[in-house]
Amino acid sequence: MEPKIRLENVSYYYGNQPALRDVTLDIPPNAITVIFGPAGGGKTTLLRLINRLNDEVEGTRMTGRVLLDGQDIYAPGVDVPRLRRRVGMVFALPLPLPGTVRENILYGPKLAGVRDRARLEEILERSLRLAALWDEVKDRLDDPASRLSGGQQQRLCIARSLALEPEVLLLDEPTSGLDPISTGKVEEALQELKHRYTIVIFPHSVQQAARVADYAAFFLMGEMVECQPGRDLFTTPRDRRTEDYITGRFG
């Protein structure tokens, strides 16, 4: 199967500090790919490279190529805002923008130029349903987004990304601040979403990684140690370091 995203020999430096070392990784479509490992392993950098959010950081250097559907996203002439609409991102902390639930969801589509009222309402409901939030907020669409609970806010952020109808969804520890019940709801939503999207996620624990992974990649100090289908990686890791980490010997 053609990978949705392919990283070819990607290295990345903050000043002279390497964050990623020669990473080559294929991310298959319509599946959940889990990227895990101890902090400082270059995971966040990796995500931010896939939607070029690191463009704004000064003093960085990158080598290698990142391909989306076979096209180099760092090639000259790439429309970065359009790329970011194709590659949605959800951050570790639920981050509602100032404004109501409705404004949060429709912010992106409005920026993208959608004006039609009926169309916007449709996007609103569809995104909230996909993020498994619609039933909880359908009567509170005009409340400030910050009045939602933490778990609801995080699903709101997922819905906000989905409102742009992306092809890829990047999630940076989307459940780190959530209780187990909210976490369960977000994970359920992800299982539904993977049929339509390519999902890349950093879990906040090895257990979560094992629960949701179709594919899993283990990162250590900027290096990709191994990548396998999740079932295999968590039962028969090839590398000693992976085994040590998932059995809790370090990290």
Q: How far is the CB of 178 from another protein (least distance, A)?
A: 17
Q: How far is the CB of 189 from another protein (least distance, A)?
A: 19
What angle do the packed helices 117-130 and 101-111 form, to 10 degrees?
120
Nearest to another protein of 96, 237 (CB atom): 96
What angle do the packed helices 150-162 and 180-193 form, to 10 degrees?
20
Whether the CA torsion 236, 39, 24, 203 is positive or negative: it is positive
Q: Which residues bind another protein (CB under 8 A)?
A: 51, 53, 56, 58, 81-82, 84-85, 88-89, 91, 93, 95-99, 107-108, 111-112, 144-147, 157, 160-161, 164
Nearest to another protein of 133, 227 (CB atom): 133
Give the end-to-end CA distance of the chain in Å, rounded to a whole number: 33
Residue with the two structure tokens 């909880």: 136
For residue 98, give the 3-state DSSP assignment.
Answer: coil
- Decide: residue 82, CB within 10 A, 0-12 exposed, 13-18 middle, 19+ buried: exposed
Nearest to another protein of 62, 221 (CB atom): 62
Nearest to another protein of 75, 112 (CB atom): 112
Q: How far is the CB of 143 from another protein (least distance, A)?
A: 9
Q: How far is the CB of 200 from another protein (least distance, A)?
A: 13
Q: How far is the CB of 238 from another protein (least distance, A)?
A: 34
Nearest to another protein of 75, 80 (CB atom): 80
Q: Encoding tokens for residue 64? A: 């290698």
Nearest to another protein of 4, 160 (CB atom): 160
Nearest to another protein of 42, 96 (CB atom): 96
Q: How far is the CB of 101 from another protein (least distance, A)?
A: 10
CA distances 61 to 16, 17, 19, 79, 142, Å, are 9, 10, 10, 20, 43
Q: Encoding tokens for residue 251? A: 């990290």
Calpha distance 19→228 (Å, rounded): 22
Q: How far is the CB of 74 from another protein (least distance, A)?
A: 16
Longest dimension (CA), the chain: 56
